[in-house]
Amino acid sequence: MLTLALPKGRLAEESIELMLEQGWLNGRPDPDSKELIFKDSKGKVRILLVRSQDVATYVEQNSADAGIVGWDVLLEGGYDLLLPLDLGIGKCRLSVAAPKGWSLSSGERKVRVATKYPNIAKEFFLKKGINCEVIKLYGSIELAPLVGLSDCIVDLVSTGATLKANNLEEIEIIMESTARLIFNRSSLYTKRKEIGEFLDSFSALEKQL
């Protein structure tokens, strides 16, 4: 049995749908359940439901054999993992956003940036030649510029509805992100057969992208 770490929420739902289509699951976890471990009746996969930022850690530390997580999370963390497939789901973009009227500037003033992606944000502003102070937050990032905590934010954008609701606008796209299938390096040897079958069933999906 493979242990697979999935991020709670929409990406987990999309991932589970793919596994149902590929015959790895018989059913979905109960949406009303508070349980964080789901064992499917087929006995092929055990699912761990964790925070998106924790998926790669569970896989890297061998608490899960594999995981599905956004490319943004992987770039931010710099994990030692095998990343064989882009699944093409969970599409979004990591962008700079700010109150209307604000723009990127290479002036002398230090720009304050609120984000949960400090490494990616620092690299982006450095390449722009902009001095920045990164303020790391874990949620409600859009609130920061509204109360004067930051000048702008770096955060994931899907539809842009949350930005609009908070009178923010997208200034520049830093990167596009989709979900990647990741594996623990030691699991590749200890569960070679199961991982091989899992990879084969999803490889066709990548070719269709």
Q: What is the pLDDT of residues 128-159, one digit of tens each?
A: 989 999 999 988 999 999 999 999 999 999 88
Q: Is 79 found in the same domain as 9?
A: yes
Beta bridge partners of 187: none
d(CA 113, CA 135): 6
In what helix (H) or strand (E) does residue 74 lie, and over which residues does it extend? helix 71-77
Cβ pair 148, 88 in contact under 8 A: no
Are 32 and 69 in the same domain? Answer: yes
Residues 142 and 126 in one domain: yes
Question: Would you state the structure tokens that stand for residue 33, as one six-digit string?
Answer: 């359940």
> What pLDDT does 31 receive?
74
The residues with which 99 forms a beta bridge, in sequence order, are 168
CATH number where 140 lies: 3.40.190.10
Average pLDDT of the chain to the nearest whole number: 89
Residues 110 and 186 in one domain: no
Containing structural domain, residue 196: 2-91+177-207
Q: Are 65 and 110 in the same domain?
A: no
Same domain as 53, residue 7: yes
Give the integer Cα–Cα distance in Å for 67 and 81.
10
Are residues 56 and 40 both part of a single domain?
A: yes
Antiparallel, parallel or unpaired: β 2-7 and 45-50: parallel
Number of domains in the chain: 2
23 and 73, same domain (yes or no): yes
CA distance 205 to 79: 24
Contact 72, 94 (CB under 8 A): yes
Are residues 11 and 23 both part of a single domain?
yes
pLDDT, tens digit, for every residue of 19-77?
Answer: 998 888 888 887 777 888 998 788 889 999 999 999 999 999 999 999 999 999 999 99
Question: Could you read off the pLDDT of 79-109 as tens digits, one per residue?
Answer: 999 887 899 899 999 999 999 889 887 555 7
